[in-house]
Amino acid sequence: MHTSSLQQNILAELDHELATTRKLLALVPYEQAEYQPHPKSMKLGQLASHIVNLLAFKQLFVQHPNRDFLDPNGPKPGPSPTSNAELLARFDEYSASLRAALQESDDEKLTDSFRLHRGEQTLLEMPKATAIRIMGLNHSIHHRGQLSVYLRLLDIPIPAMYGPSADDKIWG
């Protein structure tokens, strides 16, 4: 652990993952946004947008006690970016907003419960810190892994992430 503080540990992990995610998103070729490696897969542009929009979802865990997917007034993602510059601008905006929300929080608030539901059906209920890690960070890392495969299939060199890659031998 970084410290005994939940908040500080999450911030440290978030900073590491944001830097890695941004490196990968910077490589997304928007001229190939419609690329889809399999009919059941998201298109490249959709996947990249989803990764960015998950940052706003993580912020919900920090700032609210629940989220009802049936609430017509609930937050909705913005329009899909149409260029890599738009994608990175939204990533930077959402990253800064999430970081600020986490900095304004504290360990006590992060142990409060968060409930994700669809009307009366509870989809998930757990402490906010756990929701941030499982449905926020881990969820984003999962999709980032998918994105790295898409980029590999498009013959785009993959940067080092948790160690050297076949394309980037320098890590750190």
pLDDT per residue over 94-121, tens digit each? 999 999 999 999 999 999 999 999 999 9
The pLDDT of residue 74 is 84
* Residue 2 known to bind ligand: no
pLDDT per residue over 43-80, tens digit each? 999 999 999 999 988 888 899 999 999 999 888 888 88
Backbone angles phi and psi of 50, in degrees to 5: -60, -45
- Statement: the pTM of the whole predicted model exceeds 0.95: no
* Residue 143 known to bind ligand: yes
Buried b (16+ CB within 10 A) or exposed e, 137-156: bebbeebbebbbebbeeeeb
Domains of the chain and CATH, by start: 6-154 (1.20.120.450)
The pLDDT of residue 172 is 64
* Residue 16 known to bind ligand: no
Whether 1 shows a pLDDT value over 70: the answer reads no
**Angle at the Cα of 109 from the Cα atoms of 104 and 115, rounded to 5 degrees:** 115
